[in-house]
Amino acid sequence: MPINKTNVKKDGKQQYRVRVNYTDANGKTCQIERTVYGLAEANAMEQRLISEYKEKRTVSCKMTVQQLYDEYMKYHENETRATSNDSTANKLKMRILPYLGNYRLDKLTQQVLANWKIEIGKQDIAIRTKKNAYTSLSALLNYAVKMNYITKNPLTVLGNFKDTNTFEKPAKDFDYYTSEQFVKYIAACENSCQTAIDWGYYVFFNIAFFTGARKGEINALKWSDIDGNIMHIRRSIAQKTKGGDIETPPKNKSSIRDLQMPNQLIEILNEHKERQRAASRLFSDDYRICGGERPLRDTSINKHNRKFAIEADLPRIRIHDFRHSHASLLANEGINIQEIARRLGHSNVQITWNTYSHLYPREEDRAIEVLERISLK
């Protein structure tokens, strides 16, 4: 029975335990339990619990995908890095809300979702983009399940997008500078330096090439992160977020790393530290290495990158490609892939291998020499 008498009495009234059964999002039978005194009060409590549960289910079913999105993003922003939160919002705004935003959750049938997949499938976009859209929508609906707005995720049964090409298209080769090209590039950069801020760009691109650090990691660097010939990567800066710069931990646990620096970079940093110290009475070890009181602006870094490439008569590469340049230089010299992965802060060496394995020198002749040393007689 949903109402049970206990062995407790208070002020002459019998205590009752009131239980209401319900089925959760996973189909499991659960109970809501309360205790009250008096049979009339117990009956009233039972009806109130049933009514509250039904009202919650009715209201949640009438929630639209747009309303779910608004609630989800408030929850999501406290659970993930700012840059990841922005990326999730962009995917949902571009691929989900224009098609499904006005649908109520109780009207979000498998047929509706199948039609959405058909519309996205017809678009001339990469299969990875389509799969990311599916993953984003699935995560949104899983949140609705978690909050008991719906009992199950109706997208799951349809499955993700599939690549219908028999053969995969080869990935586009990334761009990078060789050491000779970088020398020309950084010379053009140095020739433009007049102020301490100008030198900040010179230092930024040297750090990018000689360490392979990510842009946000370089922007976040403080002088307190430099210890002799070691650079400590401990934080990152996200600029493309509401409310200005946001300092966050690096991308993953492996991104927290200590990088030994070559002598050229150590000398460049030492000179720049004295330059900043002379330029400002407010200088301290909390100064951003590239910028000062605040980091260089991303848009300005991109603008200067284009300028230096033109002046050096080189093809322009992206800021992220300086990271590729660092890894490519080491890979071409046969440096162990695990060391490259460590310097880049990759969470899995397989990521590094998949990206840079084709750059490693072919060693077929040496491999044959090893095999031919085996004597079968």
Encode pLDDT of 176-201 as tens digits: 999 999 999 999 999 999 888 899 99
By mean pLDDT, which of 35-39, 43-47, 56-60, 275-279 is the weakest? 56-60
What does the pLDDT look like over 203-215, one tens digit per residue? Answer: 999 999 999 999 9
> Can you give the pLDDT at residue 56?
53
> Can you give the pLDDT at residue 39?
87
pTM higher than 0.95: no
How many other C-beta atoms are found inside a 10 Å radius of the C-beta of residue 75? 12
> Can you give the pLDDT at residue 107?
86
What distance in Å separates the CA atoms of residue 256 and residue 194, rounded to the nearest whole number?
34
Residue 324 contacts residue 175 (beta carbons within 8 Å): yes
What does the pLDDT look like over 142-157, one tens digit per residue? Answer: 988 888 788 789 998 8
Residue 227: Cβ-neighbour burial (10 angstroms; 0-12, 13-18, 19+): exposed
Domain topology for 179-359: hpI Integrase; Chain A (1.10.443)
> Can you give the pLDDT at residue 84?
76
> Can you give the pLDDT at residue 26?
44
Our CA angle for 95, 96, 102, nearest 5°, is: 140
Mean pLDDT, residues 337-353 taken together: 89
> Can you give the pLDDT at residue 117?
92
Give the pLDDT band (50/70/90) at residue 58. very low
Residue 17 contacts residue 7 (beta carbons within 8 Å): no
> Can you give the pLDDT at residue 364?
67
Output the six-digit token pair for 360: 């490693």
For CATH 1.10.150.130, the residue range(s) in the chain are: 65-158
**What's the distance, Cα to Cα, between the start and end of the chain in Å?**
87
For CATH 1.10.443.10, the residue range(s) in the chain are: 179-359
| CATH assignment of 65-158, among 1.10.1060.10, 1.10.150.130, 3.40.718.10, 3.30.70.100 | 1.10.150.130
Residue 207: Cβ-neighbour burial (10 angstroms; 0-12, 13-18, 19+): buried
How big, in percent rounded to 5, are the helix, strand and coil portions of the chain?
55, 15, 35
Q: Average pLDDT, whole number, for the chain?
A: 85
Give the pLDDT band (50/70/90) at residue 219. very high
